[in-house]
Amino acid sequence: MTDILQILLIGAVLGGVYALMASGLTLIFGVMKIINLAHPVFIIIGAYISYWLFTLVGLDPILSMPIAMIALFCLGIVVYKLIFEREASSAKYSEMTVLLTFAVALSFDGLLGVLFGNIQRITSPSYAVEAVMLGDLFLPKGQFYAGLISIALIGALVAFLKFTRFGYAIRATTQNREAAQLLGVNVGLVSTITFGIGIGLAGASGALISFIFSFFPARHWEWIALLMSLIVLGGMGRLMGAVVGAFLLAIVSAFVGSYFGSTWSMMTFYLALFLILLVRPQGLFGEKME
């Protein structure tokens, strides 16, 4: 019983981090129908920002997280304006974004490789190697802090979407872009800011995972299937679905890794992506496609 509770704890805190990683991706898809294959590379950029701030000036990665968020928010707006805005009204916009974001991912991958090399790095604050003891159970402090902060950020995002005027505009655009525009919503501005917020959330998750996982430029290719499995399981464009999917798959993955090995742990996400597309492509919370 203790072993089961231990695995549940580890899976739950990682689920919070995975949920934050996926939240920006599903938010962007919900508003603009952009299938952002480059999302994980923005997470890597956020991790590098925190890593170098820690290495060069000793700034704790949790404290550098707002810097990573702001930097990635600005980068996201620039990328959207330069690449995605012009074709936003195209009938095949969603299909086009697959190729566009793939090209963006390749470009940033190459740039990061030139700048930093394909060397595995990890931020190493003191709490990254410490644990919180809960009776017979233990919880790595790094994962615990990252999970709590991730849940807090997702809660702040939900509150922003639910209780602010701009949040209403985002939700309206998500539900029906044309109707929102007819009612006076500036969907161009909403799309630009939402893309920035989504990429900013990638920066925040990058700062948090910088002391949980080792990373290097090409690591983003490993994470894209993981993130896609989370948002497809929950339903594309469904924030709460992505959160539920993250916790479910993180816990299942923790059990699989514990009993069958770490290699099979990652296979959990690939298999889940395959099965959900085969059995219920709209996901747990998505509407059935016509």
Dump pLDDT digits (tens) for 241-282. Answer: 889 889 998 999 989 888 887 778 888 888 888 888 888 877
- 286 — pLDDT class (breaks 50, 70, 90): low
CA–CA dist 83, 65 (Å, integer):
26
Question: pLDDT tens digits, residue range 47-101?
Answer: 999 999 999 999 999 999 999 999 999 999 999 999 888 776 666 777 788 889 9
The reported pLDDT for the residue numbered 177 is 79
Residue 89 CA to its chain's centroid (Å): 26
Provide the pLDDT confidence category of residue 288 given band limits of 50, 70 and 90: low
pLDDT at 48: 97
Give CA–CA dist 33/36, Å, rounded: 9
Q: 25 pLDDT band (50/70/90 cuts)?
A: very high
Instruction: Report the range of poorest mean pLDDT among 45-59, 143-157, 217-231.
Output: 217-231
pLDDT of residue 35: 86
Instruction: Give the distance from CA 57 to its chain's centroid.
Output: 27
CA–CA separation, 37 and 225 (whole Å): 9
Are the CB atoms for 159 and 30 separated by under 8 Å? Answer: no
Percentage of the residues of the chain whose pLDDT score is greater than 70: 96
Q: How many CB atoms lie within 10 A of CB 290?
A: 3
Q: Which residues, at least 6 apart from 128, have a Cβ–Cβ distance to it below 8 Å?
A: 122, 140, 141, 142, 211, 212
Write out pLDDT tens, residues 250-260. Answer: 999 989 888 88
pLDDT value at position 270?
83
Residue 20: the pLDDT is 93
Q: Report d(CA 21, CA 11) in Å as an integer.
A: 15
Say how far residue 114 (Cα) sits from the centre of its chain: 24
Q: What is the DSSP string of the chain?
A: -HHHHHHHHHHHHHHHHHHHHHHHHHHHHHHH----TTHHHHHHHHHHHHHHHHHHH---HHHHHHHHHHHHHHHHHHHIIIIISTTTT-TTHHHHHHHHHHHHHHHHHHHHHHHH-S--B----GGGG-EEEETTEEEEHHHHHHHHHHHHHHHHHHHHHHHSHHHHHHHHHHH-HHHHHHTT--HHHHHHHHHHHHHHHHHHHHHHHTTTS-B-GGGHHHHHHHHHHHHHHH-TT-HHHHHHHHHHHHHHHHHHHHHH-HHHHHHHHHHHHHHHHHH-TTTTTSPPP-
Q: According to the model, what pLDDT value does residue 212 have?
A: 93
Check residues 102 and 86 and name the one with the higher pLDDT.
102
**Residue 84, C-beta contacts closer than 8 angstroms, at least 6 positions apart:** 32, 34, 97, 100, 195
**Beta partners for 139?**
132
Strand 137-140 relative to strand 131-134, pairing: antiparallel
Q: Is 121 exposed, middle or buried (0-12, 13-18, 19+ CB in 10 A)?
A: middle
Residue type at 71 in one-letter notation: A
